[in-house]
A and B are shown apart, each in its own frame.
Chain A
Amino acid sequence: MKQKPHFATRPILTIGWRYLLRHPWQSALMILGITLGVAVVVAIDLANASASKAFDLSTEAVAGRATHQIVGGPNGLDERLYADLVRIGLNANLAPVISEYVYVPDLGSNLFQLLGLDPFGDAPFRNYLGDSRSGQNRQPIGNLVDFLTTPGAILISSGVAERNGLQDCLLESDACTMSMEVSGEAKPVSVVGFLQPTDDLSRRALDSLILADIATAQELTGRSGTIDRIDVLIPQDGREETEAQIKALLPTSVRLIPVEARSGTITEMTTAFRVNLTALSLLALVVGLFLIYNTMTFSVVQRRSLFGTLRCLGVTRREVFILVISEALAAGMIGAVLGIILGTILGQGAVRLVTQTINDLFFVVTVRGIQIPITSLIKGGLLGILATILSAIPPAWEAASVQPRVALSRSGLERKAQRAVYLAAGGGGLLLITGIGALLLPSQNLALSFIATFAVIIGFAMEAPLVTILLMKASTPSLGKVLGSLGRMAPRDVVNSLSRTSVAVAALMVAVSVTIGVSLMVSSFRYTVVAWLEQTLQGDIYISAPSLTSTQTSAPLDPRVIEHLENWSGTDQFFTLRSVNVDSPQGITHIAAASNTVMSSERDFLATSVPIANIPAQLDSGSVIISEPYANRMGISNPGGTIYLYTDSGVQEFPVIGIYYDYSSTQGTVLISLDTYRNFWQDETVTAAAIKLTPDKEIDAAVQELRESLAGEQRLIIRANQALRNEVLEVFDRTFAITSALQLLATIVAFIGVLSALLSVELERQRELGILRAVGLTRRQLWGLIMLETGLMGTVSGVLAMPTGYVLALILVYIINRRSFGWTLQMQVVGDPFILAVVIAVGAALIAGIIPALRMSRMMAADAIRFE
């Protein structure tokens, strides 16, 4: 007769529960490990999700329901094109748009997107002025009289108005009048109405928007005669014919492009950034996994005799297995819930950091404070539970598979563990080789690269037991000489409880190696950027107009300013730059058009197809050089080919004669001579200027002098070379703030891991230590023994973390960074991270030893050995 298993399972499960309850320290540590792992994953996922949501919202707030856009060159479109197109009667809705980032001091320090729309034709695209699709809510034009006819009339969201105490200003005359800063110039505007969002999502989108009539926007941005673009909504029916019809009508400098083509390029660029963050957050979870594995293994080891007894009493393997798994599940669930809560809190900070980085590196996200996407929470929670169960399977298997007789013998597991050392070392070596092999594959796939990186790290971690044994054996004689029998005891103890100590060592090693790897990567990166800045910033003084966004310097300089600078007495050499985004068949391309080709080509080149000395002359005759990220993005591995750009006279090809190192953007840059640029684009704008001073001028004094002499003109940013350099580095450091935060979290997780592992080890040795106390070991000696053991473990972690960290740094610098952002960095090995790593490892281990040492030294020897 076969008994149904679940009759017996219930009382057995309570054994597990009792165990968890009776060992609150261990349970708490295990839960804490899961909690931290889940929290980091959730926080990063929240940040990523909200960054992309913010981007979508920003895009939608501006693009609305447009399917296409008609775009032109750097100066936008001739405004007459709109009337010409609408008078043809296309099977499409058209709406003219002007958009510009502006700053309104009276509305706080945030950046706003000024959106100039035609309220008459805009309804099919955006709902701000009433939803024409439903026919509801449409504003009688009579109500828009002020909006249309008052110069400088704007609409802001009611939320922004309230926050700035303007909610009642419509009732008083002139109370809503304020100043708006556009491209460094202040323009008077007056709020004539409030946009009242009807839901939370709209509120967030509208909070960074200022609406104006297209005529007002033209006047505010000084763009009379032109518009930025025409939004187009082509119905699905006959879309291709309509597209072809529109294309045929457009002048050569103007293009019709699908909306996705534009936003696609931008989102694509941030993907790499977000994948990197996700990988780092997963790393925290991996460290957490070690912890769970360690704790579960320990709890199994501790109860080997219990399991043996149960098995002798007829409990099946499957029931033992379920018992252990259910413990893990319980801990995993509690940890996941706590992790979600903590992750949400951490997420607030992460969202800010991620958004800041995206603003610095990629595009302007004006939308802030996104609500928490529930999917991120669920994802993180499930991941945590799943990971817990997975990492509990080996110990559960272990508990279930031992023979009842062997289980009752105490040394069974350790003997087995020592046998497994070579297995682990071999497996780890295999994993290492596979990981490195995968990394060397010429694939650009980021996910694969990260999986391979994880394989390498775990491969190293699996060497931990072997390295521990070797190091302990090597250190025994010398420690013995110095510290006597205690010195010999400590390393042997570490080896004897290898099943727990090696996992703790591995966990700590992973965390510390990540610290080393990431620190080395960041310092290499910084070193590279500093060297690059040195080379690139050759002027003494840089002048630009405040563009309000750090991603682009496209605010034009007033021609009078240029004239003044050129003729200024302190100017030895003067050069100008037009930085602008133009379209290409491959999407938006950033162009830097430089007046001084000699100076612009004094850079480090990855490759050139002509002698470096000839580059300036070649640039003058229409060739271009491209930055490394651009080359990577376009899949150009060698110069000598051509790139295509949409110019005012249609698509033109430009020969590429060199690829240069550049760290200013991940989007990449095409460097072209200003003359060439002006040949192909009708654009006299200059966005930045640099001066080389005559030898008699002192830089700071010159900056001061220029500031004073240009005070009456456009608002300008006049910076000395050093100041600009510092600013770039400031952005750089800000970018890595989140990396450091993640790194710190991973270290905390590892620290807790070590703490729990050591606690387990020492708790298990309670009786052994009790006997030692009984035979005369002093309290002080006991402290010494425990501290020596944990210190040894920390040292092993630190020693193993050094090569691992170095390899990780190599991978991050030469593979991950290149594949993610297209930057080749110069590896710069500095000692600090290594020293710091060992300090962290040993320090963490020593601190982790305090609790067990305290416990053991307080315990009476008799209590400790009561069971003997």
Chain B
Amino acid sequence: MNKTLAYRILLAIIILGLVAAVISWVGKPEETSLQSSLVLAGQGDGSSRDVQGYTRAGGPIPFVFPDDFGPHPDYQTEWWYYTGNLTTPEGRHFGYQLTFFRRALLPPTEQLSRASDWATGQAYMAHFAISDSQSNQHYAFERLARGSAGIAGAQSDPYRVWLEDWEVNLIGASVYHLKAKQDGITIDLTLTDVKDPIPHGDQGYSQKGPEPGNASYYYSQSRLVSDGSVSVGAQTYPVSGLSWKDHEYSTSALSADQIGWDWFSIQLDNNTEIMVFQIRREDRSIDPYSSGSIIGADGGVVHLEASDFEIIVLDTWKSPNNQAIYPAGWRINIPTRAIQLVIDPHMANQEMNLSYAYWEGAVDVTGVVSGQDVNGNGYVEMTGYSGSMSGEF
């Protein structure tokens, strides 16, 4: 019996043992993640759900504040839209957006009484974005929450709209606190409304199409003097500037052939603001129900019809996210008011590539008003460039 053989056998046993060990190690189940999809009774008709049972915007109803700052659950869709242009003392520019969307899941009349405080017929969604134009970074976040159990909601008195810790609330007469934070991006602002709420259209009744009810109720707080801070990562910047708030509610405002809109809010250094929007149709024409408002330094409003203004696209930008081609530079002429403006995005990529993609970005404004040079900033929203918005709102 020689030794090498004994060693070989020993070796073979060790190897067998090692193989067993390796197999049982390799065979360890990797971290599993349970996957499933969902088949639902109501699937597929989510976007075209019946608007029956909801109130529709049928004609002018003068706003009553503070009541109308709050939610209008009789209408299917509602949003509170905050945008603004901010600069640090050194002149570094930031744009921001904080929007709260409300969408009714059921008309209030169809909601059954439920024992749970969590039961709700309202879904809330919020979008938060910061445009850091100096470093050409755009940060966009989305959250969803049920409109119950204190998680998300809106109320009129004292005014407050919130989704989790993203929140805007009244902290003094015409003074608001706005805050949002996610993944190291933070905004914290105090907003002071220096003008009263501005109703658009006919006393706030903003018609979007020829069919009755294809309209919304719409007002803005067009000049919110803003102070506070923006944080990006570890860096916190003191900022000041101007914000703009839109509040709009409706039930299926768009007609079937209206695929999206371009919306402009402009805050000029002559203490006036301009809002114009144009609705685009499937055939690429501009809908005659496009309109706008000019808000004077004194808070007076001049309503603009579609025929009162023209928007000329100067440049385009192709989204790297979805290949949609967006306009990226405009000339806006309002001949009746001797207004000629050139609008330039502070940065090209301000696409909100979230549940649905749209472009919402800070813009730089230069131009001439009644022969006077003006400067300013604004926000532009463009929807329906990567899929129709019809039926969504």
Contacts and interface: CB of A to CB of B under 8 A. Distances in A.
B39 A196 contact: yes
A838 to B, nearest CB: 39
B1 A127 contact: no
B117 A142 contact: no
Contacts, number: 210
B35 interface: yes
A317 interface: yes
Interface in B15-32: 16-17, 19-20, 23-24, 27-29, 32
B123 A141 contact: yes
A633 to B, nearest CB: 28
B38 A87 contact: no
Contacts of B40: 139, 143-144, 146-147, 170, 192-193
Contacts of A198: 35-37
Contacts of A145: 42, 46, 49, 105-106
Contact of B120 (A89, A140, A205, A215): A215
Nearest to A144: B40
A573 interface: no
A215 B105 CA distance: 15
Contacts of B120: 148-149, 215
A86 B165 contact: yes
Contacts of A127: 33-36
Interface stretch (B140-148, B190-198, B264-272, B331-339): B140-148
Nearest to B118: A215
A142 B252 CA distance: 14
Interface in A206-223: 206, 213-216, 218-219
B173 interface: no
Contacts of A195: 36-38
A215 B150 CA distance: 13
16 contacts: A53-B29, A86-B151, A120-B123, A143-B43, A143-B46, A148-B146, A176-B41, A196-B38, A198-B37, A202-B35, A215-B116, A216-B119, A318-B1, A318-B2, A318-B5, A389-B13
Contacts of A146: 40-42
B47 interface: yes
Interface stretch (B79-87, B107-115, B368-376): B107-115
Interface of B: 1-2, 5, 9, 12-13, 16-17, 19-20, 23-24, 27-29, 32-47, 49, 103, 105-106, 111-112, 114-121, 123, 125, 144-146, 148-151, 162, 164-165, 167, 181, 355
Contact of B46 (A83, A140, A218): A140
A87 B20 contact: no
A165 to B, nearest CB: 16
A321 B5 contact: yes
A378 B20 contact: yes
Given A60-B32, A145-B105, A317-B1, A87 B165 contact: yes
Interface of A: 53, 56-57, 60-61, 65, 79-80, 82-84, 86-89, 96, 118, 120-121, 126-131, 137-149, 151, 155, 157-158, 170, 176, 192-199, 201-202, 205-206, 213-216, 218-219, 224-225, 317-318, 321-322, 325, 373-375, 378-379, 382-383, 385-386, 389-390, 393, 397, 400-401
Contacts of B17: 386
A151 B29 contact: no
A373 B1 contact: no
Contact of A61 (B27, B34, B119): B34
Interface class of chain B by DSSP? loop
A318 to B, nearest CB: 5
B35 A143 contact: no
A193 B34 contact: no
A199 B35 contact: yes
B103 to A, nearest CB: 7
Given A60-B32, A137-B37, A400 B117 contact: no
B34 A129 contact: no
A88 B36 CA distance: 32
A794 to B, nearest CB: 35
Contacts of B165: 86-89
A389 B144 CA distance: 64
A170 B24 CA distance: 45
Given A142-B49, A202-B36, A87 B112 contact: no
Contacts of B103: 141-142
A149 B36 CA distance: 22
A296 B187 CA distance: 81
Contacts of A317: 1-2
B387 to A, nearest CB: 13
A441 B76 CA distance: 74
B47 to A, nearest CB: 6
Contacts of B162: 87
A141 B125 CA distance: 10
A149 B9 CA distance: 71
Contacts of A157: 36
Contacts of B38: 128-130, 139, 143, 155, 193-196
Given A145-B49, A321-B5, A385-B16, A151 B34 contact: no
Given A120-B151, A158-B39, A389-B9, 17 more contacts: A79-B118, A80-B149, A128-B38, A139-B40, A140-B47, A143-B38, A143-B46, A146-B42, A149-B120, A198-B36, A201-B32, A215-B120, A215-B148, A218-B118, A219-B114, A219-B119, A321-B5
Nearest to B110: A149
Given A141-B105, A400-B1, A87 B35 contact: no
A206 B167 CA distance: 37
With most chain A CB atoms within 10 A of its CB, the pick from B34, B119, B121, B167 is B34
Given A199-B35, A202-B34, A379-B20, A83 B41 contact: no
Nearest to B111: A149
A205 B34 contact: yes
Contacts of A219: 114-116, 119
B376 to A, nearest CB: 32
Nearest to A49: B29
B47 A142 contact: yes
Most A-side CB within 10 Å, residue of B43, B117, B144, B149: B149
A193 B145 contact: no
Given A82-B151, A205-B34, A374 B27 contact: yes
Contact of A197 (B20, B23, B35, B111): B35
B41 A170 contact: yes
B135 to A, nearest CB: 21
Contacts of B27: 373-375, 378
Contacts of A390: 13
Nearest to B105: A145
A139 B112 CA distance: 23
A338 to B, nearest CB: 19
A405 B35 CA distance: 72
